[in-house]
């Protein structure tokens, strides 16, 4: 198991180098002078030139790229072009907020989605099954930005039940709207996956034997069907959590949630290469670790799975 974990972590090094290379190339292709952006549109040319020399923008691109790789290898992300603050300090502030939002959305979607999937599977082809599957398909069809705006209009403007945007203490009323917006498509997908996984297990011989022994349906579902259908469900939860970590900048922007997604969006707008690069690297590492944890969970769910 340890050898497998170390090998997976080592395999991620070339992926990080590739991400840094592509990002560095793309940002240097974009028009505009980062020194001018940092100094402001009305800054003196001497000030702009001083910033260019301080930040190393006057050096050849190859030298800038190699220095960039070397700094990252030492764990130095540099300073933000916008705030002039150490980027590592910014990451320690914004990433936990994104993790809070992703965790709240995933817990909500997992609880509701699995529950709906179990109901749909145990009432196969009934009205509850058809209604749940129709709602699940509808949830997957809504554009996320449109769904966010509609929820803001309904719950913040008309009903005045929840704040339209902002950040409070983390797990409070400010997190409800963005978390529920992210959870709606996720719970629809999870309900469909749970239903399919349960139906596959329900056709096994040991389930028919349990029913023949006269065990209650709820007991069979809880002790025999659901535990043996966990692998596709856990896979879906892990994949969805990865999507939430790396794919929620638009939600953070709409709800003014100060997470890493909004931080990366602002960095892209202002061509803040160190900040954007750090955001991508942190998200890539998070995605890799979540995928690794999901793979390791398989061995606990199914003892027959072994990693060498």
In the 8-state DSSP scheme, what is residue 173? G
Residue 2 lies in a domain: no
Positive or negative, the CA dihedral 181, 183, 185, 188 is negative
pTM above 0.85, yes or no: no
Residue 123 lies in a domain: yes
Q: In terms of residue numbers, what domain contains 31?
A: 20-73
**Count of structural domains within the chain:** 2
CATH of the domain at 210: 1.10.3720.10
Q: Which of 73, 97, 118 is the last residue of a domain?
A: 73
Whether 89 shows a pLDDT value over 60: the answer reads: yes
pLDDT interval class at 30 (50, 70, 90)? low
Q: Which of 28, 44, 73 is the last residue of a domain?
A: 73
Question: Collapsing DSSP states into helix, strand and coil, what is residue 134?
Answer: helix
In angstroms, rounded to a whole number, what is the distance separating the alpha carbons of residues 95 and 99? 6
- Together in a domain, 193 and 233: yes
- Together in a domain, 120 and 65: no
pLDDT digits (tens, 9 = 90+) for 246-303: 667 888 888 988 888 888 888 887 777 788 888 888 888 888 888 888 777 777 776 6
pLDDT digits (tens, 9 = 90+) for 100-155: 998 999 999 999 999 999 898 888 888 888 998 888 888 778 888 888 899 999 99
In angstroms, rounded to a whole number, what is the distance separating the alpha carbons of residues 158 and 152? 9
Q: Which of 50, 73, 96 is the last residue of a domain?
A: 73
In angstroms, rounded to a whole number, what is the distance separating the alpha carbons of residues 285 and 13? 10
How high does pLDDT run on average in the chain? 82
- Together in a domain, 66 and 170: no
Cα 192–chain centre separation: 20
């Amino acid at each position: 198991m340890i050898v497998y974990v170390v090998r997976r972590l080592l395999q991620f090094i070339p992926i990080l180098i590739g991400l840094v290379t592509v990002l560095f190339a793309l940002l240097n292709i974009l028009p505009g002078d980062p020194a001018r952006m940092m100094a402001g549109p009305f800054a003196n040319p001497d000030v702009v030139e001083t910033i260019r020399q301080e930040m190393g923008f006057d050096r050849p691109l190859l030298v800038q790229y190699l220095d960039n790789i070397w700094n990252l290898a030492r764990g130095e992300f540099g300073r933000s072009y916008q705030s002039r603050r150490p980027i590592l300090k910014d990451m320690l502030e914004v990433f936990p907020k994104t993790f809070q939002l992703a965790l709240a959305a995933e817990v909500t979607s997992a609880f509701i989605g699995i529950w709906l999937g179990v109901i749909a599977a145990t009432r196969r082809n009934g009205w509850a099954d058809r209604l749940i599957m129709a709602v699940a398909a509808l949830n997957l069809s809504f554009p996320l930005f449109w769904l966010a705006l509609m929820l803001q209009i309904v719950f913040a403007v008309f009903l005045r039940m929840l704040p339209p945007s902002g950040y409070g203490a983390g797990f409070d009323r400010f997190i409800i709207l963005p978390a529920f917006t992210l959870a709606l498509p996720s719970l629809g997908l999870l309900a469909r996956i749970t239903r399919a996984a349960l139906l596959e297990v329900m056709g096994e011989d040991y389930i028919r034997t349990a029913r023949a022994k006269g065990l209650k349906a709820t007991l069979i579902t809880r002790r025999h069907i659901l535990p043996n259908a966990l692998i596709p469900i856990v896979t879906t939860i892990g994949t969805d959590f990865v999507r939430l970590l790396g794919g929620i900048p638009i939600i953070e922007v709409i709800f003014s949630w100060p997470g890493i997604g909004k931080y990366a969006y602002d960095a892209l707008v202002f061509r803040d290469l160190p900040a954007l690069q750090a955001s991508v690297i942190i998200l890539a590492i998070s995605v890799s670790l979540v995928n690794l944890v999901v793979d390791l969970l398989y061995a606990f769910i199914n003892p027959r799975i072994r990693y060498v």
